[in-house]
């Protein structure tokens, strides 16, 4: 699935009003009224979001939208599509189908980015709303540990000039699109292989290194649960992040509505595509 972001060419926060599909309310200490956000942080976050329109900045399969109530809170969903099916090789090379397709193949994971009030000096916090069994994701509150990739978080100095009434921000070394790409990479085998126990927020998931089959079973289970009707459509579905009103919502479509939508997009019926 191609990536899609709701974007604007302007850094003005007012341009983002009403972009989310529903009103989103943050449940973290970083939530604040828009007029309390410093000009430096407001501009930095707005430019980060606007930059996602550039090619390959937003990873394929990810959709990102800022909260209509708070620019410092972004809601996102990640559709995981990993690899081809190499199950036909199992009799010859003993390849695990779950491993060749990816442990989290077809998972639909919602997560939230919350920017600190002094961004870009400190990185955004990533918190998964969808329950997922992963070494870097806390089973208590869904917090995602970015330290393996951003240790430390590097940024350039921010220069402000009150006399000239403008804010100039020099390019930073780390950006939000780097965070998004790391989130995507963290669900792939090569990233899982490199995770150290000290970085694991879910110690049980570290069994990946000594009991791959057990890890694969639990990771696959979390992937299947993320695709369930209750996880996708039930707004009261239990979440690791607590009760969250997400800015990205799904609506179950009837067969006729789905057919009409696919027709408008010029898509063939699935039966025709698979034949």
Residues 6+ apart with CB under 8 A from 224: none
Average pLDDT over residues 52-57: 91
The torsion region of residue 143 among left (phi > 0), alpha (psi -120 to 50) and beta comes to: beta
Query: What pLDDT sits at residue 247?
Result: 72
Q: Answer with the residue of higher pLDDT: 5 or 79.
A: 79
19-50 residue pLDDT tens? 333 334 444 444 445 568 899 999 999 999 99
The label of the residue with tokens 């996708």 reads 232
Contacts with 39 (C-beta within 8 Å, 6 or more apart), sequence order: 160, 167
Least confident of 4-18, 67-81, 132-146, 173-187: 4-18
Q: Taking CA 103 as the corner, what is the angle to CA 184 and CA 226, rounded to the nearest 5 degrees? A: 75
Would strands 62-66 and 4-5 be described as parallel, antiparallel, or unpaired? parallel
**pTM for the full predicted model:** 0.73
> Which residues span the domain enclosing 245?
4-274
**CATH number of the domain enclosing 195:** 3.10.110.10
Buried b (16+ CB within 10 A) or exposed e, 85-124: eeeeeeeeeeeeebebbbbbbebbbbbbbbbeeebbeebb
pLDDT of 36: 82
The per-residue pLDDT for 209 is 84
Number of domains in the chain: 1
Mean pLDDT of 75-86: 75
pLDDT band at residue 69 under the 50/70/90 scheme: confident
Residue-wise pLDDT for 145-177, tens only, equals: 999 999 889 886 444 444 444 444 445 589 999
pLDDT-derived band at 271, boundaries 50, 70, 90: low
Of 12-21, 164-173, 189-198, give the lowest mean pLDDT range: 12-21
Q: Rounded CA gap, 149 and 182, in Å?
A: 7
Q: Which of 112, 115, 111, 109 is nearest to 47 (CA)?
A: 115
For residues 259-269, average pLDDT: 84
Low-confidence winner among 58-62, 130-134, 227-231, 271-275 (lowest mean pLDDT): 271-275
**Quick one: pLDDT at residue 84?**
43
pLDDT at res. 90 = 40
pLDDT band of residue 100 (cuts 50, 70, 90) is very low
């Amino acid at each position: 699935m191609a990536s899609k972001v709701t974007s604007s060419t302007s850094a003005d926060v007012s341009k983002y009003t009403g972009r989310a599909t529903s009103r989103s309310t943050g449940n973290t200490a970083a939530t604040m009224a828009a007029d309390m956000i410093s000009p430096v942080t407001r501009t930095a976050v707005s430019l980060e979001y606007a930059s996602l329109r550039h090619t390959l900045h937003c990873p394929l399969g990810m959709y990102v939208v800022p909260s209509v109530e708070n620019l410092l809170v972004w809601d996102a969903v990640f559709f995981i599509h990993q690899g081809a099916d190499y199950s036909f090789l199992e009799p010859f090379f003993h390849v695990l189908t779950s491993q060749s397709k990816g442990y989290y193949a077809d998972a639909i994971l919602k997560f939230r980015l919350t920017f600190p009030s002094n961004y870009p000096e400190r990185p955004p916090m990533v918190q998964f709303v969808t329950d997922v069994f992963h070494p870097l994701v806390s089973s208590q509150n869904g917090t995602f540990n970015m330290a393996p990739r951003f240790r430390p978080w590097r940024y350039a100095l921010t220069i402000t000039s009150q006399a000239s009434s403008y804010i100039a921000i020099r390019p930073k070394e780390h950006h939000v699109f780097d965070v998004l790409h790391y989130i995507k990479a963290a669900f792939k085998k090569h990233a899982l292989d490199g995770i150290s126990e000290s970085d694991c927020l879910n110690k049980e998931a570290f069994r990946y290194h000594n009991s791959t089959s057990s890890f694969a079973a639990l990771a696959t289970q979390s992937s299947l649960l993320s695709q369930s009707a209750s996880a996708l459509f039930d707004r009261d579905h239990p979440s690791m992040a607590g009760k969250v009103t997400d800015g990205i919502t799904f609506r179950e479509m009837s067969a006729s509505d789905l057919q009409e939508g696919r027709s408008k997009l010029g898509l063939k019926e699935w039966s025709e595509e698979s034949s």
